Chain A
Amino acid sequence: MKISWIHKIIQFILPLLLIINLTAFSQDGEKLFKANCASCHNPVKNATGPKMQGVKEKWINSGEGELIYEWVKNPSELYNSGKSKMAKAIWNYSPTAMTAQGHLSNEEIDAVFAYVDAYTAPVADVASVSSSSENNQKDSNSFWWWIIGAVLVIIIFSVSGVRRQLSYALAEKEGSPKDPNIPTGVHVRSWMVRNWFAFTLILVSVLIIAGVELGNRAYQVAIFQDYQPSQSIAYSHKLHAGEMGIDCKYCHHSAVKSKHAGIPSLNVCMNCHKVVHEGKESGTEEIAKIHEHVGYNKDKQLYNKDENGNRIEKPMVWNKAHNLPDHVFFSHQQHVHENTANIDCRQCHGPVETYTLGRVSSTEEINAYAETDEGIEKGIVKLTRPILTMGWCIECHNKKEIDLTSTGYYEEIHERLKNRPDAMSEIFKDKKVTAKELGGWECAKCHY
């Protein structure tokens, strides 16, 4: 009785132990894979190195099951020895030679391949990128309204024409023919005289409406709020800056050094897209456009070159969204660099990480962002004037507080102010320092 109990327990535990052992084995393989292989290989996708799933089987099938260990430990030696066909076949997979992994034992290599062969790709948590089809829909809708309107107007005119002809015919039949040669203008004028009150009313209201409309339209001139031009590549800020958390200044890296924030040259795209060839929705085609323009052969992982060794490239034409007039000087460096104003990008560009293509934000949108926790933390100031207008600029220069204790530019300003107590007391009268008080409202600060 007792023996059978023990027997049963052993029967139960042994397979369990085996399973535990197996998982430990594959975890080991995962660890080894991540530490040694993952920087170039993906189990199921081609990257810098070819995908690894099923590779061991291929080597075994070609009768070189033992040589794979030699390959992993020292690829160049195996290739140079010339005894392996597989090594020859994959040697030119990419221009990057595989790093020798001499410290791995045969068991460890087996563990890595066991992990890789059992691997299933996790579902990437990349939300969909909304396309611009919504906009197109709206445009074509308004086009059809125009057509319908035109048809209606034509119908109204033709009906009234028929009506008039009928009334002529009727008058002729009754024996008092109207002279059809009296011009329309005479009819209209006689109507005006007869109904002079209604006419004045209509005239005045038309004039008022036209004046108000004209004024409104005039205010809309040179206001580029919500302007989102199409681009050669449908790049999504939402995906890159939002979900992937890439800093604005990674791509627009010249913002801290130059007047211009800079449109990233394609080599910046290629920092990732030399291995990332696929995207969600239209991503794959858009990435193919980068490769086409920069002249990259993703299969060979090489840049196309002509016979002189020069790269074959095509320029990419972008549409500029934010445009300041030539008579305004604006420098990103002054506003963004941490030793000067150190303003967050979103103060002027809004929550770009929620847009797809680059777009001029709107004051309302930035104000809404300023109320969020993130906006408060970043010190976004709420403004009232339309975005990218002079009123908007100087409103911020008047509202935004400056920290005189910060290092850099304002430190220097502070030192200079110390020698001028009268100016100092004038500035500190309202207990805060703004750009306006330090010359931010001088005409020549921006217009020269």
Chain B
Amino acid sequence: MNYLNTYKLSLISCCLILLVSCVKHPDSPGYEYMPDMYRSQAIEAYVDYGLVADVEHEELKTTISARIPVDGTIPYTENKDMASINMPFNYGDGEQERIRAGIEVQIPQSYIKDSLTADFNKNEGKKLYEIMCTHCHGDKGEGNGKVVKASGDLIVPPSYVSLKDRTLGSIFHTITHGKNAMGPHGSQMNKDERWKVALYVRSLQNGGDLLLSELNAPESSNDEAQMNDN
């Protein structure tokens, strides 16, 4: 009699414990209809292959899956101008390289072949600038973006107007590799986009206009003098 009762009680409590253990895992998205139709068997970006058929594979979880392209690979395009723009930018990180790029690199002619094209590219650059740069450099490149204010003026980007002597090549290098507190943005924008942003930055330095004549002639700058010094 007593045995039966204890047996029943333990059975009931076991069932209850089972029920309690049915709490949903906080990171579980919930139920799916046909998991085999949800999960790609082929490799897809951002799919966790560390967890296949409920078996965890620690080594797959902890190897880096987001990778950078092989050195020297060039995106394919049928457009000849674009193909030449996509050629590798052979300037490394650092101040010396920036100065060298500023002297040696010119904006590709296809961007500024006439004022209409230049204006179009400048406006494309404006759209990109508003996504990529405004939050630090400010709408007009005065170095008063919201991030700067929110960080309590930890670092204040210099106003573009004060850097008028920078060539477009130098601006392109700065966007690609970063400078001082600014990080490299080469991974976020391709070369085409970087040239467009550089054009827009130049127009901000001139109060919104592009001076086509000065874009082609490399200015003699402080940078050049500094390069010769070193």
For residue A267, CB closer than 8 A to chain B, the reply is: yes
Q: Is the CB of B46 within 8 A of A154?
A: no
Q: Is the CB of B37 within 8 A of A45?
A: no
Q: Is the CB of A267 within 8 A of B153?
A: no
B contacts with A, residue count (CB < 8 A): 70
For residue B130, CB closer than 8 A to chain A, the reply is: yes
Q: Is the CB of A267 within 8 A of B184?
A: yes
Which B residues lie within 8 Å of A142 (CB)? 23
* Known contacts A157-B12, A221-B31, A222-B33: A123-B152 contact under CB 8 Å: yes
What's the nearest-Cβ distance from chain A to residue B229, in Å? 9
* Known contacts A48-B181, A150-B20, A271-B185: A319-B37 contact under CB 8 Å: no
- Which of B13, B44, B127 makes the CB contact (< 8 A) with A154? B13
* Known contacts A121-B152, A315-B63, A315-B64: A323-B183 contact under CB 8 Å: no
> Given the complex of chains A and B, what is the CA–CA distance between A42 and B156 in angstroms?
8
- Which of A158, A221, A229 makes the CB contact (< 8 A) with B33? A221
What's the nearest-Cβ distance from chain A to residue B156, in Å? 4
Residues 308-351 of A contacting B (Cβ, < 8 Å): 313-315, 317, 319-321, 323, 325-327, 338
Q: Is the CB of A122 within 8 A of B153?
A: yes
Q: Is the CB of A315 within 8 A of B9?
A: no
Chain B residue with Cβ nearest A264:
B188
Q: Is the CB of A139 within 8 A of B26?
A: yes
For residue A146, CB closer than 8 A to chain B, the reply is: yes
* Known contacts A122-B152, A180-B1: A39-B30 contact under CB 8 Å: no
Interface stretch, picked from A207-215, A245-253, A394-402, A423-431, is: A245-253
Q: Is the CB of B156 within 8 A of A38?
A: yes
What's the nearest-Cβ distance from chain A to residue B114, in Å? 20
Residues 171-200 of A contacting B (Cβ, < 8 Å): 180
Residues 246-300 of A contacting B (Cβ, < 8 Å): 246-247, 249-250, 253, 259-260, 263, 265, 267-268, 270-272, 274-276
5 contacts between A and B (CB under 8 A): A223-B30, A268-B188, A271-B183, A320-B46, A321-B29
Q: Spell out A's residues near B (CB within 8 Å).
A: 34-35, 38-40, 42, 45, 47-48, 76, 96-97, 99-100, 121-126, 135, 139, 142-143, 146-147, 149-150, 153-154, 157-158, 161, 165, 180, 220-224, 227, 229-230, 243-247, 249-250, 253, 259-260, 263, 265, 267-268, 270-272, 274-276, 313-315, 317, 319-321, 323, 325-327, 338
